[in-house]
């Protein structure tokens, strides 16, 4: 009996789901005149997130080498969050050659790559590459600030497609034009991507200042179309652009680039130069103190306003003063004074 009841309940539930709402043209079923007429129920199915066909199948592999610090790890995670068309992979050993990354991208079915390379546990390099044909660019990453570190007030929908804003200089110089196309293909989320959302609520800006590329992420506020920074932020100092992927002939080399080792060396030399300068100043002061002093001739006009002091008569003492006896007892001192007085009286008498 219990099994029959369960089957009947399931059949009734299926019948309710299959029943559709009556259309506007159709009349509602007639019921008893005493019963109230209930409004027709509407069943609506939400449309899919991406209604079109995903044609531009760009996939970006974002990973790093071993030896990165926590800030680089957080930056890498922020980029994966902002780019729904990205994939992750385990860290690569530092002993492996860079061209191995092309094979890793092929296994992960990715045609673009962002690779973070750490050296000396303090220098961070970023590779942007179009695998496996190329080109690729190598940057020195500076002034890294992550989403958790900045604590910005802006916020955007996860998986939304960004707008890409470029400085006008990207259209003037040929090497910047190449980098612009590389940035568009890597950071631009493809349309109708399965993991993306059909909203545009933030902007990636690439600005060239001081021969460096400054990356910023801003939220677009709907009310007044103003921008509020979200993060992360970092600065890319271009080193070289290669024809191939992670190598090959050099297409462009930045003449303004200065390696971190050279920068630290110049800082040490400047500190040492300041120290040597202080030591030289001290030695010069010592030599001046040891040198002979030049005698300045006396000025005869200095004595004009001086008044000579009164001359006191000089008294010459012919008799040796008597030495006073050192007596600790006061009674003995009085006796000695009395004896002296008696002697004086006798001499006078």
Convert the pLDDT of each residue in 312-325 to its tens digit: 777 777 777 777 76
The pTM of this model reads 0.66
* Res 159: pLDDT: 86
pLDDT value at residue 347: 77
| pLDDT, tens digit, 9 for 90 and up, residues 80-126 | 999 999 999 999 988 888 989 999 999 999 999 999 999 988 899 99
pLDDT top residue among 173 and 295: 173
Task: Average the pLDDT over 51-58 and give the result.
Answer: 80
State both tokens at 194: 């399965």
Residue 163: name the closest of 116, 204, 220 by CA. Answer: 204
Q: How many CA atoms lie within 13 A of 314 on its CB side?
A: 2
Q: ∠114-115-117 over CA atoms, to 5°?
A: 150
pLDDT at 31: 45
Instruction: Write down all domains in the chain, each with its CATH number in brackets.
Output: 60-262 (3.40.50.10480)
Asked whether the predicted pLDDT for residue 24 surpasses 50, the reply is no
Average pLDDT over the chain reads 83
Asked whether residue 30 carries a pLDDT value surpassing 60, the answer given is no
pLDDT digits (tens, 9 = 90+) for 125-142: 999 999 889 899 999 999
Q: Give ∠ CA 101-105-111 in degrees, rounded to 5.
A: 120
Contacts of 69 (CB under 8 A, 6+ apart): 118, 121
Tell me, what's the pLDDT at 12? 53
What integer is the mean pLDDT of 200-208? 93
Give how far Cα 82 sits from Cα of 109, 128, 192, Å: 20, 17, 16
More confident residue, 120 or 7: 120
pLDDT of 11 higher than 80: no
Comparing 104 with 18, the larger pLDDT belongs to 104
- What number is the average pLDDT over the span 325-337? 73
Identify the residue whose tokens are 């021969």.
Answer: 211
CA–CA gap between residue 345 and residue 68 (Å, rounded) = 112
């Amino acid at each position: 009996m219990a099994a029959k009841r369960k089957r009947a309940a399931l059949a009734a539930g299926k019948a309710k789901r299959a029943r559709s709402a009556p259309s506007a043209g159709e009349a509602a079923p007639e019921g008893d005149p005493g019963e109230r007429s209930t409004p027709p129920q509407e069943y609506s199915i939400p449309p899919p997130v991406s209604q079109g066909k995903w044609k531009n199948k760009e996939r970006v592999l974002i990973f790093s080498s071993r030896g990165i610090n926590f800030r680089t790890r957080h930056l890498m995670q922020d980029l994966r969050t902002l780019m729904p068309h990205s994939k992750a992979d385990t860290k690569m050993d530092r002993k492996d050659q860079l061209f191995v990354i092309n094979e890793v991208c092929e296994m992960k079915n990715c045609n673009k790559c962002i690779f973070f390379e750490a050296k000396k546990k303090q220098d961070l390099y970023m590779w942007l590459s179009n695998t496996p044909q190329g080109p690729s660019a190598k940057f020195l990453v500076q002034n890294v600030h992550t989403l958790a570190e900045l604590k910005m007030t802006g916020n955007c929908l996860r998986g939304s497609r960004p707008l890409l804003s470029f400085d006008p200089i990207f259209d003037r110089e040929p090497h910047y034009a190449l980098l612009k196309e590389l940035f568009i293909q890597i950071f631009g989320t493809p349309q109708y991507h399965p993991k993306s959302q059909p909203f545009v609520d933030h902007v990636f800006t690439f600005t060239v200042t001081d021969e460096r590329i400054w990356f910023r992420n801003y939220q677009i506020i709907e009310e007044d179309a103003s921008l509020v920074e979200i993060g992360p932020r970092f600065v890319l100092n271009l080193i070289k652009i290669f024809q191939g992927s992670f190598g090959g002939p050099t297409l462009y080399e930045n003449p303004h680039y200065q390696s971190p080792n050279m920068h630290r060396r110049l800082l040490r030399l400047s500190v040492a130069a300041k120290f040597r300068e202080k030591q030289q100043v001290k030695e010069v002061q010592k030599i001046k103190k040891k040198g002979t002093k030049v005698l300045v001739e006396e000025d005869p006009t200095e004595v004009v306003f001086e008044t000579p002091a009164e001359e006191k008569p000089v008294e010459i003492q012919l008799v040796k003063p008597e030495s006073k006896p050192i007596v600790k007892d006061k009674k003995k001192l009085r006796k000695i004074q009395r004896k002296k007085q008696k002697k004086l009286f006798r001499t006078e008498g």
